[in-house]
Amino acid sequence: MTEQTHTMATLDPLPDSARLWVFGASRPLTAGEESRLLNEVEAFLGQWKAHGHPLAAAHEWRQGRFLLVAVDDTVSAPSGCSIDALVRRLRELEQEMELSLVGSAPVWYRTEDEIHRVSRPEFKALARAGEITADTLVYDLSLTRLSELREGRWETRAGRSWHARYLPTG
């Protein structure tokens, strides 16, 4: 009997302790690109395993820019090799779709009408210039557990996150 991998298009059923990865698309995707990306991720997660054991995985697409992938590691924990396989598949999709999802640690923030992706030095310069303030909405892609997402730490004010280190003091 073959074990089935369980994959969901929502993170809701997973426990707070689930392992989380957040990836940001370097540009807005067309509806067709979104569909393709999510279908490819769904297909990958549907066969994703660690040491031969299926992973209970889920994904969500948020705000037209962010791919969230989570695994219930109480069912079966992802291994280094399985995590590498996820990143490798996303890098393949980056090449095929001409966008960036993985790497380079950009900083993400939102203005009234747009989500922005900048380097850390650019973010720091924007903060020094007063264009980024403690009230600017930022996205923290460094979260590692679903509980952090549910606590509101993914999209939060710059003054309440690690982004605050780049804000002017006094």
- Would 1 be classed as within a structural domain? no
Judged by DSSP in three states, 7 sits in: strand
Are both 43 and 77 inside the same structural domain?
yes
Are both 54 and 89 inside the same structural domain?
yes
- Asked if residue 3 has pLDDT above 70, the reply is no
Query: Please, which pLDDT band fits residue 1 given cuts at 50, 70 and 90?
Result: very low
The CA–CA distances, whole Å, from 146 to 78, 101, 131 equal 15, 19, 30
- Would 131 be classed as within a structural domain? yes
Asked whether 115 and 62 are in contact (CB, 8 A), the reply is no
- Would 102 be classed as within a structural domain? no
* pLDDT score of 7: 52
Are both 141 and 122 inside the same structural domain?
yes
Q: CA end-to-end span of the chain, whole Å?
A: 65
pTM over 0.75: yes
Are both 43 and 85 inside the same structural domain?
yes
Are both 64 and 22 inside the same structural domain?
yes
Judged by DSSP in three states, 31 sits in: helix
Instruction: Give the CATH number for residue 14.
Output: 3.30.300
Are both 114 and 39 inside the same structural domain?
no
Choosing from 97, 122, 146, the residue where a domain stops is: 97
Query: Please, which pLDDT band fits residue 24 given cuts at 50, 70 and 90?
Result: very high
Are both 87 and 134 inside the same structural domain?
no
What are 39-48's contacts with CB under 8 Å, separation 24+?
40/89, 40/93, 41/67, 41/69, 41/89, 42/7, 42/9, 44/86, 44/89, 45/5, 45/7, 45/69, 46/5, 46/7, 47/5, 48/5, 48/7, 48/82, 48/85, 48/86
Q: How far apart are CA 113 and CA 1, in angstroms?
A: 51
Are both 42 and 89 inside the same structural domain?
yes
68-106 pLDDT, tens digit per residue, is 999 999 989 999 999 999 999 999 999 999 999 997 789
Best CA proximity match to 58, nearest among 72, 44, 70: 70
Range of the domain at 31: 7-97
The CA–CA distances, whole Å, from 63 to 33, 79, 115, 131, 138 equal 14, 29, 9, 22, 13
Choosing from 97, 127, 156, the residue where a domain stops is: 97
Are both 91 and 114 inside the same structural domain?
no
Q: How many domains does the chain have?
A: 2
* pLDDT score of 93: 97
35-58 pLDDT, tens digit per residue, is 999 999 999 999 999 999 999 999
Are both 15 and 33 inside the same structural domain?
yes
Are both 51 and 88 inside the same structural domain?
yes
- Would 123 be classed as within a structural domain? yes
- Would 19 be classed as within a structural domain? yes
Best CA proximity match to 68, nearest among 18, 14, 21: 21
> Average pLDDT, whole number, for the chain?
92
Average pLDDT (138-143) is: 96
